[in-house]
Amino acid sequence: MKRNADEKHIEHVIEHVKKISLNPVPLHGTERTVVAVLGDERDVDQMRISAMPGVDKVMAVLNPYKLSGRETKKENTVINLGDNVTIGGDELSIMAGPCGIESAAQTEAAARAVKASGAKILRGGAFKPRTSPYSFEGLGEEGLKIMHDTAKRHNLKTITEIVDIRDVEVIDKHVDMFQVGARNMQNFNLLKEVGSTNKPILLKRGMSATIKELLLAAEHIMSKGNPNVALCERGIRTFETETRNTLALATVPLVKELSHLPIIVDPSHATGKPSLIGPMSKAAIAAGADGIIVEVHPNPEEALSDADQALTPAMFDSIMHELKPIADAVGRAL
Protein backbone atom coordinates (compact mmCIF):
# COMPACT_ATOMS: atom_id res chain seq x y z
CA MET A 1 0.00 0.00 0.00
CA LYS A 2 1.09 3.61 -0.43
CA ARG A 3 2.67 5.28 2.57
CA ASN A 4 -0.39 7.43 3.00
CA ALA A 5 -2.99 4.73 2.32
CA ASP A 6 -5.78 4.94 4.87
CA GLU A 7 -7.50 2.10 6.75
CA LYS A 8 -10.43 2.09 4.35
CA HIS A 9 -8.18 1.41 1.36
CA ILE A 10 -6.34 -1.38 3.15
CA GLU A 11 -9.66 -2.91 4.16
CA HIS A 12 -10.87 -2.72 0.55
CA VAL A 13 -7.89 -4.73 -0.69
CA ILE A 14 -8.28 -7.29 2.08
CA GLU A 15 -11.96 -7.74 1.22
CA HIS A 16 -11.12 -8.26 -2.45
CA VAL A 17 -8.48 -10.89 -1.67
CA LYS A 18 -10.95 -12.75 0.51
CA LYS A 19 -13.59 -12.58 -2.22
CA ILE A 20 -11.30 -14.41 -4.64
CA SER A 21 -10.71 -17.12 -2.04
CA LEU A 22 -7.16 -16.25 -1.11
CA ASN A 23 -5.81 -15.47 2.31
CA PRO A 24 -4.74 -11.87 3.05
CA VAL A 25 -2.21 -11.13 5.82
CA PRO A 26 -1.71 -7.42 6.56
CA LEU A 27 1.81 -6.57 7.74
CA HIS A 28 2.19 -3.15 9.35
CA GLY A 29 5.75 -1.93 8.78
CA THR A 30 7.50 1.21 9.94
CA GLU A 31 6.76 3.18 6.79
CA ARG A 32 3.88 1.40 5.12
CA THR A 33 1.52 -1.56 5.25
CA VAL A 34 2.01 -4.60 3.05
CA VAL A 35 -0.84 -7.02 2.40
CA ALA A 36 0.67 -10.48 1.88
CA VAL A 37 -1.54 -12.87 -0.07
CA LEU A 38 -1.35 -16.60 0.64
CA GLY A 39 -2.53 -18.97 -2.08
CA ASP A 40 -1.87 -19.30 -5.79
CA GLU A 41 -1.39 -15.72 -6.93
CA ARG A 42 -1.57 -16.80 -10.55
CA ASP A 43 -5.33 -16.76 -9.99
CA VAL A 44 -5.21 -13.05 -9.16
CA ASP A 45 -5.68 -10.31 -11.73
CA GLN A 46 -2.83 -8.22 -10.42
CA MET A 47 -3.76 -5.23 -12.55
CA ARG A 48 -7.14 -4.92 -10.85
CA ILE A 49 -5.52 -4.76 -7.46
CA SER A 50 -2.96 -2.28 -8.80
CA ALA A 51 -5.85 -0.06 -9.85
CA MET A 52 -7.38 0.06 -6.37
CA PRO A 53 -7.04 3.31 -4.42
CA GLY A 54 -4.13 3.37 -1.99
CA VAL A 55 -2.29 0.53 -3.70
CA ASP A 56 1.35 1.31 -4.55
CA LYS A 57 2.37 -1.85 -6.35
CA VAL A 58 1.73 -5.57 -6.59
CA MET A 59 4.79 -7.81 -6.35
CA ALA A 60 4.52 -11.42 -7.54
CA VAL A 61 6.34 -14.16 -5.65
CA LEU A 62 5.47 -17.13 -7.88
CA ASN A 63 6.43 -17.36 -11.53
CA PRO A 64 3.51 -16.73 -13.90
CA TYR A 65 3.96 -20.01 -15.81
CA LYS A 66 3.13 -23.48 -14.60
CA LEU A 67 3.18 -26.15 -17.31
CA SER A 68 6.57 -25.09 -18.63
CA GLY A 69 8.04 -24.73 -15.14
CA ARG A 70 10.52 -27.12 -13.56
CA GLU A 71 8.46 -27.03 -10.37
CA THR A 72 5.60 -28.81 -12.15
CA LYS A 73 7.73 -31.44 -13.87
CA LYS A 74 11.15 -32.36 -12.53
CA GLU A 75 12.53 -34.56 -15.32
CA ASN A 76 13.67 -33.09 -18.63
CA THR A 77 11.27 -33.21 -21.55
CA VAL A 78 12.63 -35.27 -24.43
CA ILE A 79 10.91 -34.65 -27.77
CA ASN A 80 10.77 -37.64 -30.08
CA LEU A 81 10.69 -36.94 -33.83
CA GLY A 82 10.79 -40.64 -34.73
CA ASP A 83 13.58 -42.77 -36.21
CA ASN A 84 15.67 -42.17 -33.09
CA VAL A 85 15.81 -38.44 -33.64
CA THR A 86 15.21 -36.69 -30.32
CA ILE A 87 15.56 -33.23 -28.81
CA GLY A 88 16.54 -32.84 -25.18
CA GLY A 89 17.97 -36.34 -24.67
CA ASP A 90 21.60 -37.41 -24.54
CA GLU A 91 22.20 -36.65 -28.18
CA LEU A 92 22.65 -33.06 -29.33
CA SER A 93 20.22 -31.89 -32.00
CA ILE A 94 21.74 -30.29 -35.07
CA MET A 95 19.29 -28.47 -37.33
CA ALA A 96 20.86 -27.10 -40.50
CA GLY A 97 19.89 -25.93 -43.96
CA PRO A 98 19.26 -22.87 -46.06
CA CYS A 99 17.32 -19.80 -44.94
CA GLY A 100 14.89 -20.25 -47.84
CA ILE A 101 13.98 -23.25 -50.00
CA GLU A 102 14.82 -21.86 -53.45
CA SER A 103 14.81 -24.90 -55.74
CA ALA A 104 15.00 -28.69 -55.74
CA ALA A 105 18.66 -28.56 -56.73
CA GLN A 106 19.63 -26.09 -54.00
CA THR A 107 17.72 -28.10 -51.40
CA GLU A 108 19.27 -31.35 -52.55
CA ALA A 109 22.76 -29.90 -52.31
CA ALA A 110 22.06 -28.48 -48.86
CA ALA A 111 20.50 -31.70 -47.57
CA ARG A 112 23.32 -33.86 -48.81
CA ALA A 113 25.89 -31.58 -47.23
CA VAL A 114 24.31 -31.21 -43.80
CA LYS A 115 23.57 -34.91 -43.61
CA ALA A 116 27.16 -35.75 -44.45
CA SER A 117 28.39 -33.52 -41.66
CA GLY A 118 26.08 -35.09 -39.08
CA ALA A 119 22.89 -33.03 -38.96
CA LYS A 120 19.67 -34.99 -38.49
CA ILE A 121 17.14 -32.21 -39.03
CA LEU A 122 16.86 -30.15 -42.21
CA ARG A 123 15.74 -26.55 -41.79
CA GLY A 124 14.45 -24.33 -44.59
CA GLY A 125 11.82 -21.63 -45.13
CA ALA A 126 8.97 -21.76 -47.60
CA PHE A 127 7.16 -18.63 -46.46
CA LYS A 128 9.65 -15.84 -45.84
CA PRO A 129 8.68 -12.87 -43.69
CA ARG A 130 10.83 -10.08 -45.08
CA THR A 131 11.47 -6.65 -43.58
CA SER A 132 11.40 -5.08 -47.03
CA PRO A 133 8.23 -5.41 -49.12
CA TYR A 134 10.40 -5.71 -52.21
CA SER A 135 12.15 -9.05 -51.44
CA PHE A 136 11.90 -12.80 -52.25
CA GLU A 137 8.96 -14.27 -50.34
CA GLY A 138 9.42 -18.01 -50.66
CA LEU A 139 8.04 -20.86 -52.75
CA GLY A 140 5.09 -21.66 -50.48
CA GLU A 141 3.63 -25.19 -50.54
CA GLU A 142 5.83 -26.08 -53.50
CA GLY A 143 8.82 -25.38 -51.26
CA LEU A 144 7.41 -27.59 -48.51
CA LYS A 145 7.03 -30.47 -50.94
CA ILE A 146 10.60 -30.10 -52.19
CA MET A 147 11.78 -30.06 -48.60
CA HIS A 148 9.76 -33.13 -47.66
CA ASP A 149 10.92 -35.21 -50.62
CA THR A 150 14.55 -34.20 -50.31
CA ALA A 151 14.64 -34.87 -46.58
CA LYS A 152 13.04 -38.26 -47.03
CA ARG A 153 15.68 -39.24 -49.55
CA HIS A 154 18.40 -38.32 -47.07
CA ASN A 155 16.62 -39.71 -44.02
CA LEU A 156 16.42 -36.27 -42.39
CA LYS A 157 13.65 -34.79 -40.27
CA THR A 158 12.35 -31.35 -41.27
CA ILE A 159 11.55 -28.05 -39.60
CA THR A 160 10.11 -24.88 -41.16
CA GLU A 161 8.87 -21.55 -39.88
CA ILE A 162 5.19 -20.73 -39.78
CA VAL A 163 4.52 -17.03 -40.35
CA ASP A 164 0.81 -17.04 -41.13
CA ILE A 165 -1.84 -18.68 -38.97
CA ARG A 166 -3.61 -19.80 -42.16
CA ASP A 167 -0.68 -22.07 -43.01
CA VAL A 168 -0.94 -24.42 -40.02
CA GLU A 169 -2.62 -27.16 -41.99
CA VAL A 170 -0.35 -27.16 -45.03
CA ILE A 171 2.79 -27.14 -42.92
CA ASP A 172 1.40 -29.82 -40.63
CA LYS A 173 0.89 -31.97 -43.73
CA HIS A 174 4.43 -31.79 -45.10
CA VAL A 175 6.82 -31.02 -42.26
CA ASP A 176 7.94 -32.75 -39.02
CA MET A 177 8.30 -29.74 -36.77
CA PHE A 178 6.99 -26.18 -36.63
CA GLN A 179 9.25 -23.26 -35.96
CA VAL A 180 7.64 -20.17 -34.42
CA GLY A 181 9.93 -17.24 -35.20
CA ALA A 182 11.02 -14.43 -32.91
CA ARG A 183 8.49 -12.00 -34.39
CA ASN A 184 5.63 -14.38 -33.57
CA MET A 185 6.63 -15.38 -30.06
CA GLN A 186 3.72 -13.34 -28.71
CA ASN A 187 1.30 -14.05 -31.56
CA PHE A 188 -0.93 -15.84 -29.10
CA ASN A 189 -3.51 -17.05 -31.59
CA LEU A 190 -0.79 -18.67 -33.66
CA LEU A 191 0.66 -20.28 -30.52
CA LYS A 192 -2.68 -21.83 -29.75
CA GLU A 193 -3.16 -23.14 -33.27
CA VAL A 194 0.18 -24.94 -33.34
CA GLY A 195 -0.53 -26.04 -29.78
CA SER A 196 -3.60 -27.79 -31.15
CA THR A 197 -1.57 -29.93 -33.59
CA ASN A 198 0.52 -32.84 -32.40
CA LYS A 199 3.72 -31.73 -34.08
CA PRO A 200 6.69 -30.57 -32.00
CA ILE A 201 7.36 -26.84 -31.98
CA LEU A 202 10.59 -24.87 -31.81
CA LEU A 203 9.67 -21.58 -30.13
CA LYS A 204 12.16 -18.79 -30.69
CA ARG A 205 12.67 -16.06 -28.17
CA GLY A 206 11.36 -12.67 -29.27
CA MET A 207 13.93 -10.00 -29.98
CA SER A 208 12.97 -8.10 -26.85
CA ALA A 209 11.30 -10.85 -24.85
CA THR A 210 12.37 -11.71 -21.33
CA ILE A 211 13.03 -15.30 -20.34
CA LYS A 212 9.82 -15.25 -18.32
CA GLU A 213 7.86 -14.14 -21.36
CA LEU A 214 9.43 -16.94 -23.39
CA LEU A 215 8.28 -19.50 -20.82
CA LEU A 216 4.85 -17.89 -20.74
CA ALA A 217 4.65 -18.16 -24.54
CA ALA A 218 5.45 -21.86 -24.23
CA GLU A 219 2.63 -22.01 -21.71
CA HIS A 220 0.18 -20.78 -24.37
CA ILE A 221 1.16 -23.70 -26.62
CA MET A 222 1.16 -26.27 -23.85
CA SER A 223 -2.19 -25.11 -22.49
CA LYS A 224 -3.68 -26.47 -25.73
CA GLY A 225 -2.38 -29.93 -24.97
CA ASN A 226 0.86 -30.06 -26.94
CA PRO A 227 3.79 -30.74 -24.57
CA ASN A 228 6.48 -30.97 -27.26
CA VAL A 229 7.97 -27.51 -27.12
CA ALA A 230 11.66 -26.75 -27.55
CA LEU A 231 12.81 -23.22 -26.74
CA CYS A 232 15.35 -21.32 -28.82
CA GLU A 233 17.75 -18.56 -27.74
CA ARG A 234 18.54 -16.51 -30.86
CA GLY A 235 19.84 -13.27 -29.45
CA ILE A 236 18.11 -10.18 -28.14
CA ARG A 237 18.20 -6.63 -29.38
CA THR A 238 20.55 -4.33 -27.49
CA PHE A 239 22.52 -1.16 -28.19
CA GLU A 240 25.43 -3.17 -29.63
CA THR A 241 25.50 -2.99 -33.42
CA GLU A 242 28.64 -5.00 -34.26
CA THR A 243 26.59 -8.19 -34.11
CA ARG A 244 23.04 -8.46 -35.50
CA ASN A 245 21.69 -9.36 -32.05
CA THR A 246 23.24 -10.07 -28.67
CA LEU A 247 23.37 -13.81 -28.00
CA ALA A 248 22.47 -14.19 -24.32
CA LEU A 249 23.91 -17.61 -23.53
CA ALA A 250 23.16 -17.42 -19.80
CA THR A 251 19.61 -18.10 -20.96
CA VAL A 252 20.63 -21.72 -21.47
CA PRO A 253 21.51 -22.73 -17.90
CA LEU A 254 18.82 -20.43 -16.53
CA VAL A 255 16.12 -22.10 -18.63
CA LYS A 256 17.45 -25.45 -17.44
CA GLU A 257 16.81 -24.32 -13.86
CA LEU A 258 13.40 -22.80 -14.46
CA SER A 259 11.99 -25.26 -16.97
CA HIS A 260 12.05 -28.88 -18.09
CA LEU A 261 11.89 -27.96 -21.78
CA PRO A 262 14.85 -28.44 -24.14
CA ILE A 263 16.69 -25.36 -25.39
CA ILE A 264 18.37 -24.90 -28.76
CA VAL A 265 20.69 -22.03 -29.75
CA ASP A 266 20.64 -20.20 -33.09
CA PRO A 267 24.07 -18.62 -33.58
CA SER A 268 23.30 -17.60 -37.19
CA HIS A 269 20.58 -15.06 -36.46
CA ALA A 270 22.18 -14.13 -33.15
CA THR A 271 25.40 -12.90 -34.67
CA GLY A 272 24.73 -12.40 -38.39
CA LYS A 273 28.41 -13.14 -39.05
CA PRO A 274 29.62 -16.51 -40.38
CA SER A 275 32.96 -16.15 -38.60
CA LEU A 276 31.24 -16.02 -35.19
CA ILE A 277 28.98 -19.04 -35.70
CA GLY A 278 31.64 -21.63 -34.87
CA PRO A 279 32.77 -20.08 -31.57
CA MET A 280 29.18 -19.43 -30.51
CA SER A 281 28.12 -22.98 -31.36
CA LYS A 282 30.87 -24.33 -29.16
CA ALA A 283 29.96 -21.91 -26.38
CA ALA A 284 26.30 -22.92 -26.63
CA ILE A 285 27.06 -26.61 -26.21
CA ALA A 286 29.51 -25.88 -23.39
CA ALA A 287 26.77 -23.88 -21.65
CA GLY A 288 24.46 -26.88 -21.76
CA ALA A 289 22.31 -26.28 -24.85
CA ASP A 290 20.51 -29.29 -26.35
CA GLY A 291 21.54 -28.39 -29.87
CA ILE A 292 21.97 -25.68 -32.45
CA ILE A 293 20.13 -24.47 -35.53
CA VAL A 294 22.29 -22.92 -38.24
CA GLU A 295 21.95 -21.66 -41.78
CA VAL A 296 23.91 -23.60 -44.40
CA HIS A 297 23.63 -22.81 -48.10
CA PRO A 298 25.43 -24.60 -50.95
CA ASN A 299 26.38 -21.20 -52.34
CA PRO A 300 25.77 -18.34 -49.87
CA GLU A 301 26.54 -15.66 -52.40
CA GLU A 302 23.60 -16.79 -54.52
CA ALA A 303 21.18 -17.15 -51.59
CA LEU A 304 17.91 -15.30 -52.04
CA SER A 305 17.68 -14.41 -48.36
CA ASP A 306 20.04 -13.91 -45.41
CA ALA A 307 22.99 -14.58 -47.72
CA ASP A 308 25.37 -12.81 -45.40
CA GLN A 309 24.97 -15.17 -42.47
CA ALA A 310 24.87 -18.54 -44.26
CA LEU A 311 27.69 -21.03 -43.81
CA THR A 312 29.15 -22.89 -46.76
CA PRO A 313 29.00 -26.70 -46.44
CA ALA A 314 32.76 -26.70 -45.81
CA MET A 315 32.48 -24.20 -42.96
CA PHE A 316 29.62 -26.19 -41.44
CA ASP A 317 31.62 -29.40 -41.65
CA SER A 318 34.56 -27.78 -39.95
CA ILE A 319 32.35 -26.48 -37.13
CA MET A 320 30.85 -29.95 -36.63
CA HIS A 321 34.34 -31.35 -36.19
CA GLU A 322 35.17 -28.70 -33.61
CA LEU A 323 31.93 -29.35 -31.75
CA LYS A 324 32.71 -33.00 -31.15
CA PRO A 325 35.30 -32.58 -28.36
CA ILE A 326 33.11 -29.94 -26.67
CA ALA A 327 30.17 -32.37 -26.73
CA ASP A 328 32.42 -35.02 -25.21
CA ALA A 329 33.57 -32.58 -22.53
CA VAL A 330 29.99 -31.98 -21.37
CA GLY A 331 28.95 -35.60 -21.75
CA ARG A 332 26.67 -35.28 -24.77
CA ALA A 333 26.57 -37.44 -27.89
CA LEU A 334 27.02 -35.89 -31.31
- CA nearest neighbour of 246 among 231, 236, 257, 261: 236
By C-beta, is 112 or 288 nearer to a copy of itself? Answer: 288
Residue 159 CB, nearest approach to a copy of itself (Å): 20
Binding of residue 283 to a copy of itself (CB under 8 A):
yes
From candidates 259, 306, 313, 332, binder to a copy of itself by CB under 8 A: 306
Contacts (CB under 8 A) with a copy of itself, residues 47-86: 47-48, 50-52, 59, 61-62, 64, 71
Output Rg (C-alpha) for the chain, integer angstroms. Answer: 23
Work out whether the CA dihedral 235, 238, 244, 246 comes out positive or negative: negative
Residue 237 CB, nearest approach to a copy of itself (Å): 5
Residue 83 CB, nearest approach to a copy of itself (Å): 29
Binding of residue 189 to a copy of itself (CB under 8 A):
yes
Binding of residue 21 to a copy of itself (CB under 8 A):
no
- Total residues interacting with a copy of itself, rule: CB under 8 A: 102
Work out whether the CA dihedral 233, 239, 244, 247 comes out positive or negative: negative
Residue 317 CB, nearest approach to a copy of itself (Å): 18
Q: How far apart are CA 250 and CA 266, in angstroms?
A: 14
Binding of residue 318 to a copy of itself (CB under 8 A):
no
Work out whether the CA dihedral 164, 165, 167, 171 comes out positive or negative: positive
Q: Which amino acid is at 84?
A: N
Question: 35, 13 in Cβ contact below 8 A?
Answer: yes
Contacts (CB under 8 A) with a copy of itself, residues 204-223: 207-208, 210-213, 216, 219-220, 223
- CA nearest neighbour of 196 among 225, 165, 172, 161: 225
From candidates 81, 204, 305, 316, binder to a copy of itself by CB under 8 A: 305
From candidates 77, 184, 197, 228, binder to a copy of itself by CB under 8 A: 184
Residue 174 CB, nearest approach to a copy of itself (Å): 19
> What is the bridge-based pairing of β-strands 33-38 and 23-28?
antiparallel
Q: How far apart are CA 256 and CA 253, in angstroms?
A: 5
Q: Give residues with Cβ within 8 angstroms of 331, minimum separation 6.
A: none
Contacts (CB under 8 A) with a copy of itself, residues 236-275: 236-243, 246-250, 252-254, 257, 270-271, 273, 275
Distances (CA, A) of 126 to 94, 183, 224: 20, 16, 26
By C-beta, is 173 or 224 nearer to a copy of itself? Answer: 224
Binding of residue 234 to a copy of itself (CB under 8 A):
no
Q: How far apart are CA 8 and CA 240, in angstroms?
A: 50
Residue 293 CB, nearest approach to a copy of itself (Å): 16
Contacts (CB under 8 A) with a copy of itself, residues 119-178: 129-135, 163-166
